[in-house]
Amino acid sequence: MDIRNIYQKEGQCYFPIKSIDEEFYNYLSEHYKSNDGTTHLRDEYWPGSVEGVASGFRFDASEEWPLTNEVNYTDHNKPFRVLDLKKTELAEEYKDWDITQTWFYSSVYDDKIRRGRDNIVKYLYDLKDDELISDDKIELTLYNKHCRFDHHTDGPEAGYLCSVVIYLNENYDISRGGLFDGEEQLSPEFGMCMVQDMTEHDFKHGVTEVTSGERYALLSFPMLKGMKGYDN
């Protein structure tokens, strides 16, 4: 059974990008692949207050039931070291709370990334060239120590076609955490992609807590023309 058949039957699929678009895989390998000790992605996408770069950090936590207090913290366009220090402070301050999400994000404005992402979606849904909107958000995400995303669902009410996560770490060490956490746990290995339909499915998923190192991925929520997601 090929990838499209699996996806259309199951509503989700974890697969090697090379099997759909080898040119896109090669571009990712040349420009976005991350190895231990490399900082080019972090330095480029979290430089601080630089025109044309929209980056930030998200931290959410809540007290255990039956208490209802919660904290939702977002910060933008500061140097990575500043954001990372704040993350560490929050993780310590709220260590006894239920930390539901902690991660870094930065907008990606790269036509070749968009084209490659669109090729994947068009293949899985058997779409024509003009059926996807051309200005949805694509983000580079970074998870390091303390970062996680608890189990959650997005579902049809979110107003998107699907979620697409493209993994960028070569030779990923799964003992560090940062695994895709859905019906099964999967390694975020370079060149692999997870796509989940959001029109007819509501998959529970998340990212396990990272204990060391840096985990990079490209995240996006493609839309057909006429769809209106949360950000629109």
Count Cβ atoms below 10 Å from residue 73 Cβ, excluding itself. 14
Which pLDDT value is given to residue 64?
77
Which pLDDT value is given to residue 39?
86
Supply the mean pLDDT for the chain: 93
Report the CATH number of the 3-220 domain.
Answer: 2.60.120.620
CA distances from 8 to 103, 152, 201, 212 (A): 30, 22, 11, 36
Furthest-apart CA pair in the chain: how many Å? Answer: 52
Give which of 74, 168, 151 is closest to 116, Cα–Cα.
Answer: 168
The three-class DSSP label of residue 89 is helix
68-116 pLDDT, tens per residue? 789 999 998 889 999 999 999 999 999 999 999 999 999 999 999 999 9
pLDDT band at 157 (very low <50, low <70, confident <90, very high): confident
Instruction: Tell which wins on pLDDT, 227 or 146.
Output: 146
Judge whether residue 232 has pLDDT over 60.
no
Instruction: Tell which wins on pLDDT, 215 or 69.
Output: 215
Pairing of strands 12-16, 185-186: unpaired
Degrees (nearest 5) of the Cα angle 117, 121, 127?
A: 130
Residue 185 neighbours by CB under 8 Å, 6+ apart = 179, 208
Judge whether residue 65 has pLDDT over 80.
no
Judge whether residue 213 has pLDDT over 90.
yes
Judge whether residue 130 has pLDDT over 60.
yes
Which pLDDT value is given to residue 36?
84
* Rounded Cα gap, residues 180 and 42, in angstroms: 21
Judge whether residue 118 has pLDDT over 90.
yes
φ, ψ for residue 166, nearest 5 deg: -115, 120
The b/e string for 142-167 (b: 16+ C-beta within 10 A; e otherwise) is bbbbbbbbbeeebeeebbbbbbbbbb
φ, ψ for residue 156, nearest 5 deg: -60, -30
The alpha carbon torsion through 26, 210, 214, 71 (nearest 10 deg) reads: 110
The three-class DSSP label of residue 57 is strand
Which pLDDT value is given to residue 230?
66
159-209 pLDDT, tens per residue? 999 999 999 999 999 999 999 999 999 999 999 999 999 999 999 999 999
Mean pLDDT of 41-49: 86
The alpha carbon torsion through 181, 182, 183, 184 (nearest 10 deg) reads: -30
DSSP letters, 165-195, are EEE-BTT--GGG---EESSSEE--BTTEEEE
Which pLDDT value is given to residue 231?
60
pLDDT band at 1 (very low <50, low <70, confident <90, very high): low
Identify the helix (H) or strand (E) that includes residue 44.
helix 40-45
Cα 60 to the chain's mean position, in Å?
Answer: 16
Identify the helix (H) or strand (E) that includes residue 29.
helix 22-31
Which pLDDT value is given to residue 38?
82
